[in-house]
Amino acid sequence: MKLVVQPFLLVGLTVMLWIIGPMQVVAQIDVTYPVSRMIVQRDNNNKALVQIAGSYAQPIDAVEARAVVRTAGQGTTTNWTTIQTNPLNGQFNGTMTITGGWYQLEVRGKLNGAVVATDAVDRFGVGEVFAILGHSNAQGSSCIDSNGNDNCPTIAGAVDDRVTVVPVDQTTPEFLQYEKTADTRYLPGLVFSQLATFSGISPFAKMSWFWGRMGDLLVQRINVPVLIYNAGFGGTNMEQNYKAASNIPFDHWFVNYSIRMPYANLRNLMNLYVPSTGIRAVLLQHGENDRNNATDLIVTHHYGVIDSVRRQFNKPNLAWIIALSSYVGGRFENVRAAQQTVINRANYLTYQGPDLDEVTDRPDGIHFSPTGQTKVGERWANAITDTYLQTIQPYAAEVQPLTSLSCATGNQLTLTQPSGYEYTWSTGSTSQGLTVGAGTYSARLRNPQNKVIFPPAVTVPSIVRPAVPTITTSGSMSLCEPGSVTLTSSYTGKNLWNTFETTSSIQANAVGTYYLKAINSVYGCQSDAASTYISNAMTDLSLALAVSRRTLAPGDTVTVTLTVTNEGGCDAGAVTMQNRLPSNMTFVSSADLTASNGVVTGNLTNVAPGQSVSRRFVARLTAEGTYSNAAQLIAQSRLDPDSQPNSGTGDGQDDAAMVDLRTKSVGTLALFSSPNPYQTPLPALQSNQPKPDSNKADLSLAIELGQRNGKPGQTVTITLKVANQGGLAATGIRVLHNLPTGLQVVATSLPANMTANGSTVTGSISQLAAGQTASLTFTATVTGQGNLINTAQIMAADQPDPDSTPGNGTTNGEDDTAQADFRSAGAAGARMAATPAATVSPRQVTDLPKVNGQIQHRFSGNGQQ
């Protein structure tokens, strides 16, 4: 994985923050913590519990990691270790124990036992972490002679790849701001490099000085990497560090007490870096500039600084390794005595470092020549003994918190950091949350005590919200109830149906609209909804009743025919018909039907769509009179959209029929009617309209015909009535009427606000006030025969309608649609329907309210066609 440093603007300046991976590249799994070349402090058993975190963009159920040594002998390769099972919301986070060494850290995501994604951090170390405090001989310095020659140039940086620093460039505007403010926002974050000659050492050193030499020797001896921070400040002493730490004002011609320099450098590295990496000890190299103070005062200054650091950062056992260093043209025993006193204090966790007064290669009497630097580096490496590293108790790296993720609009996520901090994002934002698209985003968080944490960076993939899926059906989009239609999503991931099912396919077993959203299996972001309407294919059974003759003599027989017609699109299955005979009408015989106590019954195994099945019986009239014979369907296997079986023969439903016949006698005749003992009352009429809303327009449509029947060559007047039952005026209304084959518009009858195109007639109404009705009237000529079905709908309006959607068809039962049938004489049951209108019974209909989403019809007539 490539480490990329991304700039961002802060207070008009460019600040560098670490980011993993190029912004435009998004991996399926991305390790964002630890970062490249990061080193964490080992314990005294040569191990560290390492936090490993990052992002993933495809479904996984386990994350494994291992550390692989970069060079044989420089660590111990681990086995693959599961660091987290069933990670959530696009982030993984776990820990594993790693032995001291220099590694490539490898991570892989698994799903159902198979590896599906991999990533790696190219360099990572478990080793030693030190912070340096001192003046110019610790920070690095030149010594210019009278001829302008620098007799103290820095020696080269580290040769060993394992000697690491956070680099800092003292020539940048950011560092100049840091010098003025001591604000950690202007220091680099978690970005690491090998210690080069002039890489700088955060927070305040600009050259390698002798620390590269020390690092090379130390890592080669202890065989683990070393991370160094340098808080040195040239020209200072322990007194100024003590006063700055204790908030005791002092005057200095270039040290700014108001920002707590020089102590601020040590304070800042303890706040900024040590929480993430841990630390073994502070390397203290002061003394030359303390020579003018008494021994006891120097001791007090040492104690004050050490105690302040331990107390302020809650590290009471933080060790200090203190160099003996006083040389300015010679030794100063008052300084050495003070340093020795601090070193020898019992149980104070202070340890003796190198005796640097023995190194006299100092061209200006203070600072080290290149030869002197080499010697000092060697002495420091030797002074950090194996015993120290086995005795001093270090402080381990702290676990960093995760960023919270949530879905935002489009292909974006909202990244939210924990509350209670100041925030600095890699984008320059200072908000707690950030809504972003594809890329990798990091932040540093600072609490009120100025401690800084670095939540693992978040990598956002290019797609977090799936595209709207498509829904396919297994065959017809119409449903035969009871029954089902298989609906299948095009999305291969997680789906969410409005039935609460999450499988890719579901069984739609009811008429209605089905909604589907695709869900990103990682983040849970949902697509916009796809929908499909499953209509009722309908087993629409009707019953007709016919007689062989209408007028008979008493004692004559008549053949009665019961015909069941399936006008729907589904097989009817088993059907039972029943005819209760009127008094004095007796059953004689039948090949298909049975009779008992005057009730004739017949069973059909099935009626196919579009088919009719007839059954006959012979009856005899035994008395003078007028006979009203009624029959009904009393049982059927499938649901019927406009009738209920066994609901009686007087409810006007089309599964009942009546035929009348009489004897030949004249004068007043007695009336004999079929019994109707089980008549189900019709449901009370209830409005399905919403209450008028003063903020909405509510349009409804009706068709009125000048007459309901005619013959070819005649004309019929058609009126489309639009009513506004809402509380807001409607504008921009457009109505479309479909003429069936057999009716042809008379062009000259069209008013100015209507036009015709073939069989389609369109009208417009510019404005319709609340509570008002407007009419669009034209004339059509009858050109064909049959039952001609007119359909119309409102196609558009400027205002939304609370209970209907313009232009969505004429068969959905909404009140912005209408149908009307016209009977043209000369046809025997033929139908001519306007496309796409639904088939309507040839009987006269009166619209009733919707019941369970379906339009009910009351039929009237004699039951014969």
Distance CA 805, CA 812 (A): 10
Task: Check whether residue 196 and residue 340 sit in a common domain.
Answer: yes
Positions in the chain short of pLDDT 50:
1-26, 827-865
Distance CA 406, CA 421 (A): 20
Q: What pLDDT score does 7 carry? A: 33
Please name the helix (run of DSSP H) or strand (run of DSSP E) that holds residue 178, with its range, or none. Answer: helix 173-181
Helix (H, G, I), strand (E, B) or coil at 649: coil
Task: Check whether residue 263 and residue 164 sit in a common domain.
Answer: yes
Q: And the tokens for 160? A: 């060993």
Give me the number of domains the chain comprises. Answer: 4
Q: What pLDDT score does 3 carry? A: 38
- CA distances from residue 353 to 93, 319, 325, 388, 753 in whole angstroms, order as listed: 39, 12, 10, 10, 101
Q: What pLDDT score does 551 carry? A: 92
CATH number, domain containing residue 839: 2.60.40.10
Pairing of β 193-194 and β 612-621: unpaired
Strand partners, 165: 193, 228
Helices (H), 603-710: none
Pairing of β 471-473 and β 443-446: unpaired
Distance CA 377, CA 368 (A): 11
Residues 6+ apart with CB under 8 A from 587: 581, 595, 598, 600, 617, 618, 619
From 391, 407, 441, give the residue that closes a domain: 391
Hey, which bits of 455-552 come out as E strands?
458-460, 471-473, 478-479, 485-489, 494-497, 505-508, 512-519, 530-536, 541-547, 551-552
In-domain check, residue 665: yes
Pairing of β 844-851 and β 854-860: antiparallel
In-domain check, residue 99: no
Helix (H, G, I), strand (E, B) or coil at 240: helix
Distance CA 591, CA 615 (A): 8
Task: Check whether residue 165 and residue 287 sit in a common domain.
Answer: yes
Q: And the tokens for 610? A: 């579009």
- CA distances from residue 789 to 252, 544, 741, 828, 838 in whole angstroms, order as listed: 102, 21, 9, 16, 8
In-domain check, residue 825: yes
Task: Check whether residue 193 and residue 305 sit in a common domain.
Answer: yes
Q: What pLDDT score does 109 carry? A: 97
* Residue 476: domain span: 471-536
Task: Check whether residue 778 and residue 842 sit in a common domain.
Answer: yes
Compute the residue count for the chain.
Answer: 865
Q: What pLDDT score does 6 carry? A: 36
Residue 448 gets the label, from left (phi > 0), alpha (psi -120 to 50) or beta, of alpha
Distance CA 631, CA 645 (A): 11
Distance CA 353, CA 367 (A): 18
From 624, 657, 673, give the residue that closes a domain: 673
Helix (H, G, I), strand (E, B) or coil at 434: strand
Task: Check whether residue 746 and residue 823 sit in a common domain.
Answer: yes
Strand partners, 246: none
Contact 29, 115 (CB under 8 A): no
Going by C-alpha positions, the residue among 460, 520, 655 that lies closest to residue 55 is 460
Q: What pLDDT score does 638 carry? A: 84
In-domain check, residue 646: yes
- Give the global pTM: 0.68
Q: What pLDDT score does 862 carry? A: 33
- In this predicted model, what pLDDT tens digit does every residue of 17-26 receive, in sequence order? 433 333 334 4
In-domain check, residue 33: no
Please name the helix (run of DSSP H) or strand (run of DSSP E) that holds residue 656, with its range, or none. Answer: strand 656-663
Distance CA 262, CA 135 (A): 9
Distance CA 204, CA 268 (A): 10
Distance CA 31, CA 506 (A): 38
In-domain check, residue 663: yes
Task: Check whether residue 730 and residue 651 sit in a common domain.
Answer: no
In-domain check, residue 772: yes
In-domain check, residue 84: no
Q: What is the C-alpha R_g of the chain?
A: 47
Going by C-alpha positions, the residue among 231, 227, 215, 233 that lies closest to residue 384 is 215
Buried b (16+ CB within 10 A) or exposed e, 533-549: ebbbbbbbbbbbbbbee
Going by C-alpha positions, the residue among 532, 476, 485, 533 that lies closest to residue 508 is 485
Q: Is 103 exposed, middle or buried (0-12, 13-18, 19+ CB in 10 A)?
A: buried
Distance CA 843, CA 433 (A): 66
